[in-house]
Amino acid sequence: MLKFLKVYFFTLIFMLLYGCSEERTVFVLSSYDDRDVCGQPQVQGAIDSLKREINNLKIEITYLDSRRISRHELEKKCDDFAEKVKSRRPSLILTTDDAAFQCAAKHFMGEEIPVVFSGINVTPEHYNKKYHFLKERKPTKNFTGVYERLFIPKQIELVEVLVGRIDKIAVLYSTDFMGEALKQQVIYELKDTDLKNRIVFYPVSTVSELDKASEEINKRKEITAYFPFVMSIKNEKFLTLRDVASIITEKIKKIDLAINKQFVELGFFGGVSVDFYQMGYRAGQMASYILKTGKTSELDVEDADKYVRIINLKRANDIKLNIFDKQISLFDELIK
């Protein structure tokens, strides 16, 4: 009888501690599709972090695909997501990039559900003018997360180590929301430096405009390098950077400064790249802390601080850029 009571007691304790624990759900809202070179590494990083930190967790992902759809379609997807949240009441929402942040902020800013963001390109200070969710970088509402710093000064410094002082750098950018946001980030990160006077902007919205701008960038001798920020343009359908990368690299035989590893894998030269996976991973760590403690206010908004120096040697050869062994040692990763 005593043996039976002991077995019963330990079984009851186990059930209380493990068997009856409530499964929590996190909704991940991605701005783009599941192959996007900026969004998907963040999603994967966040999921890996959450799974490592939290047991008995259900994760559901929604992709807004904002690069390929109209504003009206995007608003409809956002509203549908909001309805799902209201009916299902997840424990937390994690967003990647700006469209997802804006969707969550529209519906849930100041609500009970905590929201952690990753990879916003519009500065937290700018968003704070509208949503009033921060005091300096400390959350006063239910939102916190990681701002995507592009390390623009470090990019330019690396180019000058490779080729000497440069005169001009071009920013080839699409006139969609993300292209404009990246342009503003370049301005923001260079505003207190003399480098700001060396930037030349080339806006494009169609393939024909892209062709013309690419030809001009290639022709201008004072332009040594450029940023390919062509995130979404129109042809017969919406095209993303993945679709037009080969067009750009074929027309421009200069140093392409890539903001992440996935850009380099598309054929661009490289440089100092944001580590999108680690940025998402950090957002996942912040989300895990909130799930454990319920204290969003204890986590200040952060700048992404992880980057990788990466070079595509095939592209370097293609643009006839001689890289010496000593210069190769500057890079963390090589793509051949």
Helix pair 98-108, 124-131: axis angle to 10 deg: 20
pLDDT value at residue 261: 83
Which helix (H) or strand (E) element contains residue 74?
Answer: helix 71-88
Q: What does the mean pLDDT of the chain come to?
A: 92
Look at residues 54, 47, 48 and name the one whose alpha carbon lies nearest to residue 21: 54
Residue 18 pLDDT: 37
Strand partners, 200: 170
CA distances from 323 to 52, 326, 332 (A): 40, 8, 15
- Can you spell out the DSSP letters for 98-122? HHHHHHHHHHHTTSSS-EEEEEE-S
Superfamily of domain 152-274+308-335: Response regulator (3.40.50.2300)
SS3 267: coil
Integer Cα distance of 115 and 260 in angstroms:
25
Rounded to 5°, angle at Cα 262 from 243 and 63: 70
What is the rounded distance in angstroms from the CA atom of residue 271 to the CA atom of residue 214? 20
Do 24-149+277-306 and 152-274+308-335 come out as alike in CATH topology?
yes
Each of the 336 residues of the chain gets a pLDDT tens digit; together they read: 444 444 444 434 433 443 344 679 999 999 999 999 889 999 999 999 999 999 999 999 999 999 889 999 999 999 999 999 999 999 999 999 999 999 999 999 999 999 999 999 999 999 999 999 999 999 999 999 999 999 999 999 999 999 999 999 999 999 999 999 999 999 999 999 999 999 999 999 999 999 999 999 999 999 999 999 999 998 878 899 999 999 999 999 999 999 888 899 999 999 999 899 999 999 999 999 999 999 999 999 999 999 999 999 999 999 999 888 889 999 999 998
Best CATH choice for the domain 24-149+277-306 from the list 1.10.3720.10, 3.40.1190.20, 3.40.50.2300, 3.40.50.300: 3.40.50.2300
Side-chain half-sphere CA neighbours of 119 within 13 A: 32
C-alpha 150/C-alpha 141 separation (Å) is 26
Confidence (pLDDT) at 22: 64
Q: Any idea what the Cα angle at residue 15 is, between residues 11 and 17, rounded to 5°? A: 115
Predicted pLDDT of residue 228: 97
- Between CA 190 and CA 311 the distance in angstroms is 23
Q: What angle, rounded to 10 degrees, do the helices at 98-108 and 71-88 form?
A: 50
What type of residue is 260? N
Task: State pLDDT tens for residues 209-264.
Answer: 999 999 999 999 999 999 999 999 988 788 999 999 999 999 999 999 998 888 99
Q: Are 274 and 150 a contacting pair, CB within 8 Å? A: yes
Domain boundaries, the chain: 24-149+277-306, 152-274+308-335
24 neighbors 58 (Cβ within 8 angstroms): yes
| CA–CA dist 154, 215 (Å, integer) | 26
Check: CB of residue 301 under 8 Å from CB of residue 139. yes
